[in-house]
């Protein structure tokens, strides 16, 4: 492929080599343990070129999974106002994104993650490092409790994707956002801020 | 394939022809609208032979999706005692099944449903007709509210499958059953029996 795209900077072959190396590194070692330097070595390029193409390590990671949303833009809307009402705001923002055209790409990513261990790892890393960890950090949730609380939130929201957007089980598939927010918001609220029996034993 | 299996009754070719016809009928028309008579016609056999091989329509349906659990056996344990504490019992029974070897087959079915529209429809029909509708009937939940309540339960439980057993997001993937039951039981309890704002508008 010698064809150049005007939409993205750089040589497309080099860009693809970096993305392949990054995908492998993020899936095998996880976001935290993958280094730009090692990815550059594996792709046969200078680390500076990765920064030039993708900006930060977050930017490189987001490019590997090709998700058409930016958590850095959405999360502040959800956490603004703190823990009070955060469950409702999270579910409302989530539905707005998934009910939009971006939801179609999200469904494709979920489907792929079900059958491809690497994509599953990348999706898990995305949820952990780009969404959940940041959200619990911004909300100042006790770091000892944050991992369990956020993985509980993940069960509810991933299940929403599955039932509303993939299996399309009625009446939830067609339920207005307000009905879903009223029903599911309190669940997320409790997972993030409520008194969860059993948490004490996990500290 | 002329080889005969000693494990199941009947001619394996005939059995397979019935299962193929049944899979198509259940996926295309849904459990309620698929008839044994039409499946028999499509498979070129007598309806009596279907009853001979598979017993009831439920038995035939369960054979099409090859799920190694029997909701008719598990549901009574969950609904015994009525609505009081049903959320906790449902989550505990669910985890016992999914943490067992049967969970491996369940993961395979979920994966397949993500990428195959027919399997997705069969899984949706299974959840609706074999699990959720029966459970809400046994629990005597208001029929006007039962569909939304049970599809909300489905979001939480399907999300548990995804996060704990497929994506294996920690700490939830390794959390002891007691911790998960304490955290998620109240969610299911509220979806089945709690006061859900927005339900009034759906009646």
| Residues B187 and B87 both lie in one domain | yes
B114, B123, B169 ranked by CB distance to A154: nearest: B169
| Residues A174 and A77 both lie in one domain | yes
Q: How far is CA B202 from CA A174, B197, B199, in A?
A: 12, 10, 5
What's the farthest any 2 CA atoms get from each other in chain A? Answer: 59
| Residues B93 and B186 both lie in one domain | yes
Which chain B residues are Cβ-neighbours of A170 within 8 angstroms? 147, 151
d(CA A77, CA B179): 31
pLDDT at position A4 is 43
**How many domains does the structure of chain A reveal?**
2
d(CA B108, CA B54): 23
| Residues A129 and A182 both lie in one domain | yes
**Interface contact flag, A182 B196, Cβ < 8 Å:** yes
Whether residue A1 is contained in a domain is answered as: no
**Distance from B176 to chain A by nearest Cα, in Å?**
10
Q: CB burial class (10 A; 0-12, 13-18, 19+) of residue B165? A: middle
**Domain assignment of residue B97, given as a range:** 71-197
| Residues A112 and A144 both lie in one domain | yes
pLDDT at position B7 is 46
pLDDT at position A113 is 82
Name which of A108, A126, A159 to mutate to probe chain B: the one with the most chain B Cβ atoms within 10 A of its Cβ.
A159
B157, B166, B202 ranked by CB distance to A179: nearest: B202
pLDDT at position A7 is 46
| Residues B56 and B127 both lie in one domain | no
d(CA B69, CA B79): 17
What is the DSSP secondary-structure string of A140-186?
T--TTTHHHHHHHHHHHHHHHIIIIIIS--TTGGG--HHHHHHHHHH
pLDDT at position B117 is 82
**Distance from A115 to chain B by nearest Cα, in Å?**
6
pLDDT at position A198 is 59
| Residues A39 and A121 both lie in one domain | no
d(CA A124, CA A172): 25
Name which of B163, B176, B199 to mutate to probe chain A: the one with the most chain A Cβ atoms within 10 A of its Cβ.
B163
pLDDT at position A155 is 95
pLDDT digits (tens, 9 = 90+) for A138-168: 999 999 999 999 999 999 999 999 999 988 8
Whether residue A3 is contained in a domain is answered as: no
Whether residue B34 is contained in a domain is answered as: yes
CATH code for the domain of B128: 1.10.357.10
CATH code for the domain of A40: 1.10.10.60
pLDDT digits (tens, 9 = 90+) for A81-110: 899 999 999 999 999 999 988 888 888 888
d(CA A78, CA A86): 6
Whether residue A7 is contained in a domain is answered as: no
d(CA A174, CA B148): 10
| Residues A57 and A146 both lie in one domain | no
| Residues A92 and A174 both lie in one domain | yes
Per-residue burial over A164-194, b = 16 or more CB atoms within 10 Å of its CB, e = otherwise: bbbbebeebeebeeebbbbbbbbbbbbbbbb
């Amino acid at each position: 492929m010698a064809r150049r795209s005007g939409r993205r900077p750089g040589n497309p072959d080099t860009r693809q080599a970096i993305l392949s190396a990054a995908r492998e590194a993020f899936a095998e070692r996880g976001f935290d343990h993958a280094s730009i330097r090692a990815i550059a070595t594996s792709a046969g390029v200078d680390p500076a070129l990765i920064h030039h193409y993708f900006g930060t390590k977050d930017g490189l990671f987001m490019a590997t999974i090709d998700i058409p949303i930016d958590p850095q833009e959405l999360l502040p809307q959800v956490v603004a106002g703190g823990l009070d009402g955060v469950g409702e705001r999270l579910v409302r923002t989530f539905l707005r994104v998934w009910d939009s055209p971006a939801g179609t790409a999200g469904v494709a990513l979920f489907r792929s993650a079900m059958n491809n261990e690497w994509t599953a790892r990348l999706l898990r890393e995305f949820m952990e490092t780009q969404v959940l960890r940041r959200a619990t950090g911004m909300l100042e949730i006790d770091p000892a409790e944050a991992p369990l609380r956020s993985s509980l939130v993940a069960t509810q929201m991933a299940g929403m994707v599955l039932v509303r957007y993939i299996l399309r089980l009625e009446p939830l598939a067609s339920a207005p956002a307000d009905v879903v927010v009223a029903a599911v918001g309190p669940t997320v609220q409790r997972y993030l801020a409520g008194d969860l029996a059993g948490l004490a034993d996990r500290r």
